């Protein structure tokens, strides 16, 4: 459990820069929803898969598919640990369920809370699991 708490702290702290991307993506989703109509869960999952594919492709091109050797102290996570399908996918599914029971302002507030909480917790669990898998193969 301590490894998960440590990873949550690290993940949240490292999100300061990438948060700008989150805001950009959120605004893009709002604009697309206005032009294309509201997405259904399948559409949202397809959008998430497209975003993950671009992220993983860029990271793999920059570092290699399974690069676990970074600095001497703490190597960066493997690009496979950054394939956000479980974390983003579960966050989208949680929000999908929430918006069917929440209303107006409360729904928007809970959407932000649930999406952020589920994403970061599952991302931390995913990184811990991938790191353990990579370490067991070393």
Tens-place pLDDT, residues 57-93: 877 887 776 555 555 565 666 666 777 788 888 888 8
Mean pLDDT of the 91-106 span: 83
Neighbouring CB atoms inside 10 A of 66's CB total 14
Which range of residues forms the domain containing residue 101? 2-137
Q: Look at the chain and report how many structural domains it folds into.
A: 1
pLDDT at residue 16 is higher than 50? no
Share above pLDDT 90 across residues of the chain, in percent, rounded to a whole number:
2
Q: What's the pLDDT at 25?
A: 72
Q: What's the pLDDT at 77?
A: 61
Given CA atoms 98, 104, 108, 113 in this order, what sign does their dihedral have? Answer: negative
- pLDDT, mean over the chain: 77
C-alpha distances in Å from residue 1, one per residue of 57, 88, 89, 124, 132: 31, 22, 23, 11, 14
* Length of the chain measured in residues: 138
pLDDT band at 20; cut points 50, 70, 90: low
Q: What's the pLDDT at 65?
A: 62
Say what the pTM is.
0.62
Alpha helices in 41-103 (DSSP H): 41-63, 85-99
């Amino acid at each position: 459990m301590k490894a998960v708490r440590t990873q949550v702290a690290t993940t949240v702290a490292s999100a300061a820069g990438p948060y700008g991307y989150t805001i950009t993506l959120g605004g893009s989703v709002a604009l697309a929803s206005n032009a294309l109509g509201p997405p259904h869960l399948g559409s949202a999952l397809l959008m998430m898969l497209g975003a993950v594919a671009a992220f993983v492709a860029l990271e793999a091109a920059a570092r290699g598919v399974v690069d676990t050797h970074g600095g001497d102290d703490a190597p960066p996570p493997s690009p496979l640990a950054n394939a956000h399908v479980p974390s983003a996918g579960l966050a989208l599914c949680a929000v999908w369920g929430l918006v069917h029971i929440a209303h107006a302002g409360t729904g928007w507030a809970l959407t932000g809370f649930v999406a952020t909480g589920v994403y970061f917790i599952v991302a931390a669990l995913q990184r811990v699991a991938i790191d353990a898998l990579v370490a067991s193969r070393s």
